[in-house]
Chain A
Amino acid sequence: MTPVELAQRKFERVNEIIAEHGREQSALIPILQEVQAEYRYLPEEILTYIATAMGLSVATVFGVATFYAQFSLEPKGKYVVRVCDGTACHVRHSMPVYQAIRSRLGLKDGRFTTPDMMFTVETVACLGACGVAPAMIINEKVYGKMTPEAACTIIDTLLYRDGDN
């Protein structure tokens, strides 16, 4: 395949998504959401492409992509672990859970994703699962009443499962 063909293939799915939602600016956020679901992040060249395809300035598209917490311009891990640090979770000691997971995965300083791209660990403002605080969510699954030990066991299970495969 020539480089041009490769590029076309890469943007093919983006074209489909844009065609589905239309080119009005009000469709921009749903388009970015769907593109991110496809690629797990928003690659820079795709943002530029979307801007051109929708007739928007690149600054507008980057402005939106960087404004919302849901969008990531960096690739994320296979498992996105989000520890809830809402008020209810915070006062029921969510931060030690977060720290324990980071230290179990060897994440230090400003790093949130493991070098093997398996795990991204971050905090989230509130999952709305305050009744089972402290809570965390891994991809779509919510885990309640976490302790540092329980959280590490769950991480270990995921590590083990993937190690097996």
Chain B
Amino acid sequence: MAAQKKRVLVCAGPGCLANGAEKILDAFRSHSIEAVGATRTGCHGFCEVGPVVRIEPDNLVYVHVKTEDVAQIVEETLRKGRVVERLVYRDPNTGRAYPKESDIPFYASQTKVALANCGAINPDDIGEYIARDGYQALARAVLDLSPDETIEEVLESGLRGRGGGGFPAGRKWMFARQAKGDQKYVVCNADEGDPGAFMDRCIMEGDPHSVLEGLAIAARAVGADRGYIYVRAEYPLAVARMKNAVKQAKECGLLGADILGSDFSFDVIIKEGAGAFVCGEETALLASIEGKRGMPRPRPPFPANEGLFGKPTIINNVETLATVPAIVRRGPAWFRAIGTESSPGTKTFAVTGQVANTGLIEIPMGATLRDVVFKIGGGVIGGKKFKAAQIGGPSGGCLPEQLLDTPLDYDSLKKAGAMVGSGGLVVLDEGTCMVEVARFFMHFTQRESCGKCVPCREGTKRMLQIMEKIVGGQATLEDLDALEQIAWVVKESSLCALGKTAPNPVLTTLQYFRDEYLAHIVDKKCPAGVCSAFKAYVIHSELCKGCGKCRRVCPAGAITGEPKHPPVIDTSKCVKCGACVDACAFGAISLG
């Protein structure tokens, strides 16, 4: 690395990979230029403008790069030191060009801790991680600190679980340390199931060693000699990167027996999930590692006392563990200085949906929703109006415009009826039907309910039925009352967090967008014009040739008219099967 004067960092995050990042990297490597190294990195975060290429040390960023552009970048930037203007990011509103990454508004308001190395290093090379102070924290935890001192530091930092609940990580560690037993386990929860969240994937793919280092520090602190990383089945690349990281760490003596010459031994096993959302719940995850159906069990006993194979176990999320090395290296006071009093540090958010700058961001806790959507996210796409932000996936809620100034931290979001969850943040514009969004989440949680406890199994099913009735234009006001009542029962009495939080999307939309529910039920209208039950097929006479094909295919006999003239649809007879649309050769029929 030292011999390289310039480095080309090609983003190989999920978005850029889908847009051909590997071919771009190959193209760079096919030009051999002296003192220039080209490498793939994890996600740079700015997925919207991918594939992204960064040139170091100039901090120069090129966006929407294609393989055809590589020759010009090599010639102009790498050989002559000039900027290729046409590949520079431009603010879509002001048109201003931002050649340097640190100046781009998307990056300027971010503070990176868990994502510090993502996009900056080659994730397959432990040397690059070590060059950025990697494994220094483990060395400190193994050689300088006692396990209790390590726990004390994590406690003092106020680090809370980044996977959803926000339970203080240090407390969990302390319980497991105090638990009796000669065999203890540490588990990394990498079963990132929330639709709309991809930070854990990006951390594992972009900086796998930070997760391993965090896990090893946790193991040292609680006295475990074996760890598991439970990765979601849908993330094959993350599995490969983590496996490679384990192999390299073992070769360097940072995992395995007698780490760094001490008496601390620690081994890590990568477990692949098999596709069950509920396995993100810690007791279900443990059952899955044991080879059983991934179903949760009542707590207590908590896993810190009786966990994997009945032994004391701690389970931490990927982002939590990736934050631990920085805390141990830089001290709890440094961490506490970021974020808020009750939620210190930073949090990553996956910003997606109808927003200009989709991507992965990391901000100090307590930054407002407005900052994220407008300052970093660049506002709503297509000049539409902001309607709501869905935070925390199927367990979270929808926050309306009047709550844009809500600080993004555990307690403020909980008060608003949402939750940080894993940090998925989906921006919804005025063209979104909030009732349909709530139905979408109900459909998801109902399908993923494991079926063990009655409130969740039956309750989510009934709630989904009512939601379907509402979007189908069949519901009454009594249904709405029943929906609300069942929602509270499911929330109060389900066994695990899946059920306890499943009603949140419905409850928050009922709280903030009740008028939309009423419009569907009472006025038989979908204000956003999304729900097809309230739409009618119309024949556009200017496109219609009067061939009569639609009349002949209509199974309900709803279309009548004279040959050579545009026919008419009788909406009372129409069953909205769409046969006429398929049959029309002129595209003259549509839902309006």
B195 touching A87, Cβ below 8 Å: yes
Interface stretch of the complex, out of B216-224, B273-281, B514-522? B273-281
B358 touching A133, Cβ below 8 Å: yes
Chain A residues with CB under 8 A of B274: 29, 32-33, 68-71
A67 touching B293, Cβ below 8 Å: yes
Nearest A residue to B357 via CB reads A131
Nearest A residue to B396 via CB reads A87
Chain A residues with CB under 8 A of B377: none
Nearest A residue to B426 via CB reads A87
Bound together, the chains give a CA A26 to CA B354 distance in angstroms of 42
As a 0/1 sequence over residues 33 to 67 of chain A, the CB contacts with chain B under 8 angstroms (1 = contact) are 10000000000000000000000000010011001
A91 touching B291, Cβ below 8 Å: no
B360 an interface residue at 8 Å Cβ cutoff? Answer: yes
Chain B residues with CB under 8 A of A133: 352-353, 358
Chain B residues with CB under 8 A of A90: 195, 440
A91 touching B426, Cβ below 8 Å: yes
Shortest Cβ gap from A74 to chain B (Å): 15
As a 0/1 sequence over residues 100 to 132 of chain A, the CB contacts with chain B under 8 angstroms (1 = contact) are 000000000000000000000000111111111
Chain A residues with CB under 8 A of B48: 131
Shortest Cβ gap from B316 to chain A (Å): 20
Nearest A residue to B394 via CB reads A87
B350 touching A130, Cβ below 8 Å: yes
Which of B47, B272, B292 sits near A64, CB closer than 8 Å?
B292
Chain B residues with CB under 8 A of A32: 274
B353 touching A87, Cβ below 8 Å: yes
Bound together, the chains give a CA A140 to CA B235 distance in angstroms of 10
Which of A88, A92, A142, A144 sits near B195, CB closer than 8 Å?
A88
Bound together, the chains give a CA A25 to CA B292 distance in angstroms of 8
As a 0/1 sequence over residues 105 to 143 of chain B, the CB contacts with chain A under 8 angstroms (1 = contact) are 000000000000000000000000000000000000000
Bound together, the chains give a CA A24 to CA B358 distance in angstroms of 44
As a 0/1 sequence over residues 444 to 466 of chain B, the CB contacts with chain A under 8 angstroms (1 = contact) are 10001010000000000000000
Chain B residues with CB under 8 A of A83: none
Chain B residues with CB under 8 A of A131: 13-15, 47-48, 50, 198, 352, 358-360
Nearest B residue to A86 via CB reads B195
A159 an interface residue at 8 Å Cβ cutoff? Answer: no
B198 touching A129, Cβ below 8 Å: yes
Bound together, the chains give a CA A64 to CA B294 distance in angstroms of 8
B390 an interface residue at 8 Å Cβ cutoff? Answer: yes
Interface size on B, residues (CB 8 A): 55
B197 touching A126, Cβ below 8 Å: yes
As a 0/1 sequence over residues 489 to 520 of chain B, the CB contacts with chain A under 8 angstroms (1 = contact) are 00000000000000000000000000000000
A30 an interface residue at 8 Å Cβ cutoff? Answer: yes
Chain B residues with CB under 8 A of A28: 291
A154 an interface residue at 8 Å Cβ cutoff? Answer: no
B404 an interface residue at 8 Å Cβ cutoff? Answer: no
Chain B residues with CB under 8 A of A69: 274-276
Given the known inter-chain contacts A127-B14, A140-B236, A142-B14, please indicate yes or no for A132 contacting B50, CB distance below 8 A: yes
B67 an interface residue at 8 Å Cβ cutoff? Answer: no
Given the known inter-chain contacts A87-B426, A130-B352, please indicate yes or no for A26 contacting B291, CB distance below 8 A: yes
Given the known inter-chain contacts A70-B274, A87-B196, please indicate yes or no for A144 contacting B18, CB distance below 8 A: yes
Given the known inter-chain contacts A64-B292, A128-B14, A131-B47, please indicate yes or no for A91 contacting B198, CB distance below 8 A: no
A143 an interface residue at 8 Å Cβ cutoff? Answer: yes
Given the known inter-chain contacts A88-B195, A142-B18, please indicate yes or no for A126 contacting B234, CB distance below 8 A: yes
A27 an interface residue at 8 Å Cβ cutoff? Answer: yes
A88 touching B50, Cβ below 8 Å: no
| Residue from A64, A92, A131 whose CB has the most chain B CB atoms within 10 Å | A131
Chain A residues with CB under 8 A of B289: 26
Which A residues between 68 and 102 are near B, CB-CB below 8 angstroms?
Answer: 68-71, 85-92
A152 an interface residue at 8 Å Cβ cutoff? Answer: no
Interface Cβ pair total, 8 Å cutoff: 141
A130 touching B234, Cβ below 8 Å: no
Chain B residues with CB under 8 A of A60: 292
Given the known inter-chain contacts A26-B290, A91-B432, A92-B354, please indicate yes or no for A125 contacting B195, CB distance below 8 A: yes
Shortest Cβ gap from B246 to chain A (Å): 16
Bound together, the chains give a CA A88 to CA B198 distance in angstroms of 11
Bound together, the chains give a CA A137 to CA B311 distance in angstroms of 39
Bound together, the chains give a CA A127 to CA B233 distance in angstroms of 10
Bound together, the chains give a CA A124 to CA B198 distance in angstroms of 14
A143 touching B18, Cβ below 8 Å: yes
Bound together, the chains give a CA A27 to CA B428 distance in angstroms of 43
B293 touching A64, Cβ below 8 Å: yes
Shortest Cβ gap from A121 to chain B (Å): 17
B19 an interface residue at 8 Å Cβ cutoff? Answer: yes
A67 touching B294, Cβ below 8 Å: yes
A151 an interface residue at 8 Å Cβ cutoff? Answer: no
A14 an interface residue at 8 Å Cβ cutoff? Answer: no
Given the known inter-chain contacts A87-B390, A91-B426, please indicate yes or no for A24 contacting B291, CB distance below 8 A: yes
A18 an interface residue at 8 Å Cβ cutoff? Answer: no
Which B residues between 1 and 59 are near A, CB-CB below 8 angstroms?
Answer: 13-15, 17-19, 47-48, 50
Shortest Cβ gap from B354 to chain A (Å): 6
Which of B47, B236, B288 sits near A29, CB closer than 8 Å?
B288
Which B residues between 359 and 414 are near A, CB-CB below 8 angstroms?
Answer: 359-360, 390, 393
Given the known inter-chain contacts A33-B272, A126-B194, please indicate yes or no for A132 contacting B354, CB distance below 8 A: no
Which of B201, B353, B437 sits near A92, CB closer than 8 Å?
B353
Nearest A residue to B49 via CB reads A131
Which B residues between 314 and 366 are near A, CB-CB below 8 angstroms?
Answer: 350, 352-354, 358-360
Chain A residues with CB under 8 A of B197: 126, 128, 130
B424 an interface residue at 8 Å Cβ cutoff? Answer: yes
Which of A25, A87, A129, A140 sits near B15, CB closer than 8 Å?
A129
Chain B residues with CB under 8 A of A126: 193-198, 234
Chain A residues with CB under 8 A of B437: 87, 91
| Residue from A90, A91, A142, A144 whose CB has the most chain B CB atoms within 10 Å | A91
Bound together, the chains give a CA A89 to CA B14 distance in angstroms of 14
A87 touching B393, Cβ below 8 Å: yes
The 7 closest A-B pairs by CB, nearest first: A131-B47, A86-B195, A131-B15, A69-B275, A88-B352, A68-B274, A126-B195
Q: List 13 A-B contacts (CB under 8 A).
A: A26-B291, A29-B291, A67-B293, A68-B275, A70-B275, A87-B390, A90-B440, A91-B437, A125-B193, A125-B195, A126-B197, A129-B14, A130-B196
Question: Which B residues are closer than 8 A to A by beta carbons?
Answer: 13-15, 17-19, 47-48, 50, 192-198, 201, 233-236, 271-277, 288-295, 350, 352-354, 358-360, 390, 393, 424, 426, 428, 432, 437, 440-441, 444, 448, 450
